[in-house]
Amino acid sequence: MRNINASFHRIFAILVVLGLTLGVQADDPPPAADAASSTSPEKVVSSLIDAMAAQEAEKIRALFSEDASQAYGEGRAKAGQAFFRWLESDIIRRDGRVEGAEINADGREVVVTGTYRSRGYSSVANFLFTVDDGKITSWRMRY
């Protein structure tokens, strides 16, 4: 019985030391909480605005879901491959960006206002984005 008791105490001591070494604490947030905050709708859209300003085409593309959609006002939305063709021609190739961007989030919807500029074009920006699972699923230009 003594050997079992001594073995138990050794194993317990090893587990305690491992827990302290790894820094495990009861009040640490789970790792998923950190991942979720980095993909909050506001942060995703802010990353898009930053990528547009820096002309980082790959990053811009990566922020959208594969079935993302875009529309002007209440017009018909283009989605999927039609969306990505529009993104290439109207945003990426024309160096589209939002200057003086103000970003306001409400749940999964994010509104960006400011001035939209691209080669040869400038307009007031009032964009409504929808973000799901860390990807932009919808971009509506509101006027």
Per-residue pLDDT band for 39 (boundaries 50, 70, 90) equals confident
Contact 48, 137 (CB under 8 A): no
pLDDT at 49: 98
Q: How confident is the model at residue 13 (pLDDT cuts 50, 70, 90)?
A: very low
Q: Coil, strand, or helix at residue 54?
A: coil
Q: What is the CA radius of gyration of the chain?
A: 24
Please report the DSSP string for 67-78 in residue order.
Answer: EEEEEETTSPPE
Per-residue pLDDT tens digits for 63-101: 999 999 999 999 999 999 999 999 999 999 999 999 999
Tokens for 62, please give them: 């990566």
* Whole-number pLDDT of residue 10: 54
